Structures are given as C-alpha cells and as structure tokens.
Amino acid sequence: MTSQQNQPSAEQLDEAEAAWRAAAEGGDPEAMNLLGALLATRGDPDAGEAWLRRAADTGADGAQFNLGWLLEQRGNPAGAEASYRLAAEQGNAKAMNALGNLLYTRGEEANAEACWQWAADYGDANAMNAMGIAAGQQGNAAGAQEWHRRAAEAGHLDAMYRLGYALYSSGDRQAAEHWWSAAAEAGDARAMNALGTLLEDSGDLDRAEAMYTAAVAGGNDKAAANLASLTQVRSTRPS
C-alpha cells in the first residue's frame, strides 16, 4: 500500500558519518554540509551547527538552508530567518518556503504569501500547498483548489488529500477517488480513511474495510472508529 523508502540502519549512518567526517576535515564543503545535517539529526546539534556554518561560509549548496532549519529547531528564529534569506537569495526555493512559514507564525501573512508565491513559482510543492491553504482561509475556494491541484500534481500528499476533499464536497466523487487513491498508495493514512468512506458509501465494503484497516495501521483514529462501525454493520447482515 505504501511506497515509503527503507530508512538507513544505524550501521549505515555510522559509516556515512565516518566518511563525511573524513572528507569534511579534508576541506570538502559538500561533506561539511552532509555531516552537519546528519549530526543535527543524530542528537549532536552543537557539532551539526558548527559544520553547517563552515559549509555555509564556503557557499556549499543547501548548507544555508540546512543551517536555517537547525537554528529554527533550536529556538533561534532570528538566526533562522537570516539563513533562510541568504539561501533564498541564492535561489533556494525550499528556503523561501521556510521563510514564508516563519513569517506566517509571526503574523506577517502578506509577507508569508509573497514568499510562498515566489517559491511556488520556482516549483516548490510545499509552497503551492501553503498558497492553497491560504486561499481557502480567505474564502477563495477556486484559488485553493487550483493551488492544491498544482501541488498534488507535483506529488504533495497533503495537497492530494485536500484536493480530494474539495472535489468530493463539490460532488466529483470520481476525481476525489483518484486523488485519495494516489495519496493512499503513497502512504497517507487520512486519504486511506477518506477513500474507505467513499467506497463504503458506494457499497464496496471489502475495499472499504481494506482501506480502513490500512489507515488504522497508519495511526488514523477516525479510521479505527469507521472500521469498528463497518464491522458491526457487516456482522448483522445475513450471510
């Protein structure tokens, strides 16, 4: 049902860390960036930040964005904003999207949208989805659907789910099923549950049960309730 990639083992991460450390200590900017990002996710944010700063100082691709992300995680929004802005100036769409998110949490909605628009125009699916959410909050249903469609076509799972919901609400069950199916195949538990509901309403109880079961395995509480209800209904029907 899902297409999640296998996570690297601890042994593989140890090997990667050793290789990148050797290269970073030899002056390789890309290795500095990779090592810093890895250390940050392995519980050593101090060392991670130090390597990311060194990588960013060399202009290594993606280092300024990674540094911004780490600083934001460490509770330094001012430092994160500065790094995101520098990365965005280098053409990093992910950084511009992250800057938009940061500004939005500060209440600067117009500036956030400007950042998302820029990032979306450069192909960032997260920014497209954010634009869709913003349009929906502003009552622009058509704009929201168009942005979610663009993000969904770029493979964004949340956008697929939201687009499916909008289409279902407007009565286009076939299109809703298409997008929920796509998101479910990629492992989105909300989409599995939504697809299960659509299938149950259509009378396809076997597939509905399979979707609910998969969604429950994915941690969706609503699916657990729906599965229990469906099981109860089926148990009372004549065999």
* 173 and 60 within one domain: yes
| pLDDT tens-place string over residues 210-227 | 999 999 999 999 999 999
* Residues 222 and 171 reside in one and the same domain: no
Q: Is the pLDDT of residue 27 over 90?
A: yes
Q: In this structure, is the dihedral angle defined by the CA atoms of residues 61, 65, 71 and 77, taken in order, positive or negative?
A: positive
The angle that helices 93-105 and 63-73 make with each other, rounded to 10 degrees, is 20
Query: Which residue bears the tokens 């209440």?
Result: 107
Domain total of the chain? 2
CATH number at 103 reads 1.25.40.10
Q: What is the token pair recorded at 165?
A: 């919901």
Q: Are 63 and 109 within one domain?
A: yes
- Shared domain for 217 and 105, answered yes or no, is no
Instruction: Read off the pLDDT of each residue in 109-128 and give the average, rounded to a whole number.
Output: 98
Q: Based on the domain organization, do 80 and 193 belong to the same domain?
A: no
User: What are the backbone dihedrals phi and psi of residue 220, each rounded to the nearest 5 degrees, phi first?
Assistant: -90, 115
Q: Tell me what pLDDT residue 138 has.
A: 96
Please indicate, yes or no, whether residues 54 and 83 belong to a single structural domain of this protein.
Answer: yes
Determine, yes or no, domain membership for 3. no
Q: Is residue 5 part of a domain?
A: no
Does residue 4 fall inside a structural domain?
no
Give the domain extent around 95.
20-188
Q: At what angle do helices 157-169 and 189-201 cross, to 10 degrees?
A: 30
- Looking at the fold, whether 158 and 52 belong to one and the same domain comes out as yes
Q: How far apart are CA 125 and CA 152, in angstroms?
A: 8
pLDDT score at 239: 59
Please give the Cα distance from 131 to 134 (Å, whole number): 5
Q: Who has greater pLDDT, 239 or 57?
A: 57
